[in-house]
Structure formats: C-alpha cells, structure tokens
C-alpha cells in the first residue's frame, strides 16, 4: 500500500482521538490548539481517507435547544499494521490498529539462526504466511518487528544497527510493505509511552526484565539509537565482583546473569523450593511456568519471607549498580521497570529507591516505577513502530496552523 503522508494537524487529531476517545470538532479544535475552520477541514480529510468515523452526537441538556455536536472517533479499519515480536523461543504476530484492537494473532517457534540470511528467510516466510492467512483484502500500512539485540541478528554485536537496516530493506522488498525493525525492548517502551498517560516525562530509561535485560533510552520523547543500535545495554555491565555465570554476550558476571528472569527462576528453585532438579530445567521452562514462579517469588518476598526477599534484594542491588551508572552518565532520572512479576513486583520500586539513594550523588532527584508487563505489549509495541507515524507527541508545545 502507498505510504500516507499526513500533516501535523492530521496527526494531532488522530493522537487526540487515540488518547482521549471520541471528541467533537470543538473539542479537537480546543485541545489541538487549532482554529475551528482548520479542525473542520482536518476531520473532513481524515474521514475521506477512512481513518476517522462520525459516531453520533454529544449528549446534551434536553432542556436546551439547538443542534448537538457530532462526535468523531478512530476508524477500526485504517490504519492497520502488523506487529512482530521475536523472542529467543517464540515469535508472535498481530494485526492491529490505533485503537489497539487485536484483529488477528498467531505464534510460531523461533529458529536458532546461524546467519542473518537465515533470519531474513525465516521472517519473510513467517510474515508472508500471516499476511496470506489473516490480512487478505485488508489495507496493511506496514510491518514493525522487535528483535533481541544480542545473539539474534548479527553475530558481531556492534553490527546490530546495520543488520536491522539490512533486514528492513530486504523484507520491505519481499513483502512489498514498509518495514521497521528495532530491538523488542524499545518497541515495548513505545507501547508503554503511548498507552500510559502517566508517562509525563519526555526523558526516561525503560528497563525490561525478560530472558535478557533490555533498555530503551528516551530523550526529548524520542528513542535514542546511538551509533550501533545498542544504547543503554546495562544488562551487560559486569556487576558480579569476581567470576560469575557466563553471559550470552560472551563475558562473565554481567548484571543480566543475576537479574534475568531465568536466573531469578533458578535462584527461586534452589533457595526457596530447594529443588535442584527443577533449577536445572530453567532454560527449558516456558513463559507461563516462569511467570507463575516469579509471581510467587515476589509475593513471598513482599510478605517478608527471608529466602525470597534475599533473592529480590540481590537482584535490586545488581540492577541498582547498573542504573546508577546510567543515571549519572545520561542525566536521565526517570526509571520505568517492567517484568513478569505480577502486582507484587512493586517491591522492586522500594528496593531500588533505597539502593539508588546510596549510590547517586547526595541530594539527587529521581523516580522509579514498576509496571507489570502487558502480555501483548511487545507485539503491539512492534506495530507502533509503524503506527507512530500517524501520531504526534501532543505533550510538546507544537504550534498548529
């Protein structure tokens, strides 16, 4: 499908409807800081393009006379995007829209790649099959893909950004659609940024605790990619003082080897359940098993159980060491943590606040917040790599003509 070029005012209206739900032309003019005539023109243009629907009229005071204003909302049919989340074991795909509706969903086993060419072939075949099975007759505007940053695409860690760009070009040609590729932590951070109204700061560090520790650095509301696509890889700061477990990056004692969810699961089996046989199966455990165990670990820790609390405190200490370095270097003091820890994962907030207070400069101001993972957040965030082109950061003081 041809790429749609939108004006800033059109993107502003779509963003307001995405954030706030149905609004009248008057509301859109006021909230979008645009004139009435401009709002009327923009709504007309977006309606003609099939992106905005007229839904009905505003409820008014029945005692008052005069016409009621019409309400306008986002279309469920346009724009559409495919989101793809590639994890080390499973690849998930959705077809979604600006509402966040899941119009189609599929999963498949992820290959263990030996070359970038093999990755390209796997993704082209997997996405091509999804298009044929679920998107026939639908106007898909593009494909967003979230991938692991270490050990999936290029075997040379510094080549990740180049590999992502090569993948975008190759898949775009094969699928005849625009393709955007980022690491899956950054795509999830986009999902949280757009769905969560409490993200009031344009500058923040998002930390994802899954098999690996992923980081998304937002500066002035934009994802910072750096020169190689690996900014803020705090999971690979060596926080174990001597030795430590081997990390998938090739080093030993990285923070990830203590805080990653499989390592937390292993410690839970050994130190809480005292089941060494179960601990040895940590690499084979599925996400449902891992989540259930980590929910229990944090529930026990929050309730004060000694063994469980020691594991979580240890993880917070290693995570705090890496985050303190990032805060001091980047001068970004807003931290958001996500993991499969359930509601009791909020314990990590308190532990990190205490930990960071002892490691940062005296009097430093910072905030830490834990947000449980949305089970489809990574794949919906991948779709936002495409759909964000239809949106605008309305927190910034844009001038609309």
Statement: residue 97 has pLDDT above 90:
yes
Q: Which range has highest mean pLDDT (105-119, 263-277, 367-381)?
A: 263-277
Across the range 68-72, mean pLDDT stands at 86
Tell me what pLDDT residue 292 has: 94
DSSP class of 384? H
CATH code of the domain covering residue 54: 1.10.10.10
Residues 12 and 69 in one domain: yes
Tokens coding 154: 């290029």
CA distance 210 to 183: 13
Q: Are residues 220 and 134 in the same domain?
A: no
User: How many CB atoms are closer than 10 A to CB 228?
Assistant: 17
Going by pLDDT thresholds of 50, 70 and 90, the confidence category of residue 67 is low
Phi-psi region of 253 (alpha: psi -120 to 50; beta: other; left: phi over 0): left
Band the pLDDT of 149: cuts 50, 70, 90: low
Q: How far apart are CA 130 and CA 356, in angstroms?
A: 45
Q: Are residues 183 and 265 in the same domain?
A: no
Q: How many degrees, rounded to 5, is the angle at CA 389 between CA 122 and CA 86?
A: 25
Asked if 240 and 257 count as a contact pair (C-beta separation under 8 A), the reply is yes
Same domain, yes or no, for 68 and 93?
no
Distance CA 276, CA 266 (A): 9
Q: Residue 65's pLDDT is what?
A: 52
Predicted pLDDT of residue 250: 79
- The pLDDT value recorded for residue 123 is 93
Asked if residue 70 and residue 89 are part of one domain, the reply reads: no
Distance CA 206, CA 186 (A): 8
Residues 205 and 286 in one domain: yes
pLDDT at 163: 77
Q: Is the peptide bond before 174 cis (omega within 30 degrees of 0)?
A: no
Can you give the pLDDT at residue 397? 40
Residue 244: inside a domain: yes
Domain count, the chain: 3
CATH of the domain at 287: 3.30.420.40
Examine residue 395 and state whether it is found in any structural domain, yes or no: no
Asked whether the predicted pLDDT for residue 164 surpasses 90, the reply is: no
> Distance (Å, rounded) from C-alpha 317 to C-alpha 329?
19
User: 327 and 220, same structural domain?
Assistant: yes
pLDDT of residue 399: 41
**Nearest-angstrom CA–CA distance, 153 and 113:** 8
Query: Does 383 or 151 have the greater pLDDT score?
Result: 383
- The pLDDT of 60-89, averaged and rounded, is 80
Task: Note whether 214 and 333 are same-domain residues.
Answer: yes
Residue 53 has a pLDDT of 93
Q: Which residues contact 98 (CB under 8 A, 6 or more apart)?
A: 14, 17, 18, 74, 79, 387, 390, 391
Cβ atoms 285, 243 nearer than 8 A: no
Same-domain check for residues 263 and 360: yes
Q: Which of 40-54, 143-157, 299-313, 371-385 has the lowest mean pLDDT?
A: 143-157
| pLDDT beyond 80 at 4 | no
Cβ-contact 346, 216 below 8 angstroms: no
The answer to whether residue 14 scores a pLDDT higher than 60 is yes
**Does residue 86 register a pLDDT over 60?**
yes
pLDDT tens sequence across 314-363: 999 999 999 998 888 888 888 989 999 999 999 999 999 999 998 888 87
CB 122, CB 132: distance < 8 Å: no
Percent of the chain scored above 90 by pLDDT?
A: 48
With contact defined as beta carbons under 8 Å apart, do 297 and 272 qualify?
yes
Q: What tens digit of pLDDT does each residue of 223-259 get? A: 777 766 667 788 888 888 887 888 877 788 899 999 9
Indicate the burial class of 201 (C-beta count within 10 angstroms; 0-12, 13-18, 19 or more). Answer: middle
Q: What pLDDT was estimated at residue 276? A: 93
- pLDDT tens readout for residues 189-212: 888 777 655 455 678 888 989 888
Instruction: Give the domain range for residue 38.
Output: 8-74
Residue 73's φ and ψ, nearest 5 degrees, are -140, 170
Q: Among 74, 93, 115, where does a domain finish?
A: 74
Residue-level pLDDT at 141: 93
Q: What is the pLDDT of residue 398?
A: 44
Q: Is residue 393 in a domain?
A: no
- Cα separation, 202 vs 86, in Å, equals 27
Average pLDDT over the chain, rounded to an integer = 85
Last residue of a domain, one of 74, 97, 126: 74
Instruction: Say whether 84 sits in a helix, a strand or coil.
Output: strand
The pTM assigned to this predicted structure is 0.78
Report the distance separating Cα 130 and Cα 80, nearest Å.
14
Asked if residue 394 is part of any domain, the answer here is no
132 plus 260 within the same structural domain: no
**Exposure letters 304-340 (e unless 16+ CB within 10 A, then b):** eeebbbebbebbbbbbbbbbbebbeeeebbbbbbbbb
Q: How far apart are CA 46 and CA 75, in angstroms?
A: 10
Domain end residue (candidates: 74, 93, 109): 74
Residue 2 forms part of a structural domain: no
Q: Is 363 within the bounds of a domain?
A: yes
Q: What is the pLDDT of residue 1?
A: 54
Residue 282 vs residue 299, higher pLDDT: 299
SS3 49: coil
Q: Are residues 220 and 357 in the same domain?
A: yes
User: What pLDDT does 155 receive?
Assistant: 47
**Are residue 29 and residue 64 in the same domain, yes or no?**
yes
- 44-53, 98-107, 217-226: least confidently modelled range: 217-226
């Amino acid at each position: 499908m041809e790429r749609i070029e939108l004006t800033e005012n059109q993107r502003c209206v779509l963003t307001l409807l995405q954030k706030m739900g149905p609004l009248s032309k008057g509301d859109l003019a006021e909230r979008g800081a645009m004139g009435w005539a401009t709002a009327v023109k923009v709504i007309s243009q977006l309606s003609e393009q099939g992106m905005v629907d007229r839904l009905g009229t505003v409820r008014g005071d029945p005692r008052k006379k005069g016409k009621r204003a019409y309400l306008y909302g986002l279309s469920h049919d346009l724009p559409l995007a495919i989101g793809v989340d590639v994890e080390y074991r499973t690849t998930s795909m959705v077809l979604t829209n600006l509402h966040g509706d899941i119009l189609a969903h599929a999963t498949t086993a992820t290959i263990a790649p030996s070359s970038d060419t093999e990755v390209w072939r796997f993704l082209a075949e997997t996405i091509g099959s999804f298009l044929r099975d679920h998107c026939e007759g639908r106007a898909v505007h593009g494909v967003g893909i979230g991938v692991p940053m270490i050990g999936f695409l290029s075997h040379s860690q510094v080549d990740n950004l180049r590999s992502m760009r090569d993948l975008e070009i190759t898949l775009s040609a094969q699928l005849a659609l625009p393709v955007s590729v980022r690491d899956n932590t950054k795509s999830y951070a986009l999902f949280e940024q757009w769905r969560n109204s409490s993200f009031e700061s344009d500058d923040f560090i998002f930390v994802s605790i899954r098999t690996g520790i992923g980081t998304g650095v937002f500066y002035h509301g934009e994802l910072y990619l750096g020169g190689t696509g690996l900014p803020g890889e705090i999971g690979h700061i060596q926080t174990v003082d001597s030795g430590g477990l081997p990390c998938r990056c090739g080093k030993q004692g990285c923070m990830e080897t203590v805080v990653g969810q499989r390592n937390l699961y292993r410690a839970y089996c050994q130190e809480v359940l005292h089941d060494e046989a179960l601990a040895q199966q940590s690499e084979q455990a599925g996400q449902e098993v891992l989540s259930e165990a980590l929910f229990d670990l944090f529930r026990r820790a929050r309730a004060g159980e000694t063994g469980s609390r020691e594991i979580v405190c240890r993880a917070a200490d290693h995570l705090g060491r890496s985050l303190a370095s990032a805060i001091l270097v980047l001068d970004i003091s807003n931290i958001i943590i996500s993991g499969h820890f359930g509601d009791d994962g909020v314990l990590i907030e308190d532990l990190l606040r205490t930990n960071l207070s002892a490691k940062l400069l005296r009097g430093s101001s910072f905030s830490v917040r834990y947000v449980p993972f949305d089970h489809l957040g990574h794949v919906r965030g991948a779709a936002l790599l495409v759909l964000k082109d239809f949106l605008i950061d309305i927190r910034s003081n844009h001038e609309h003509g």
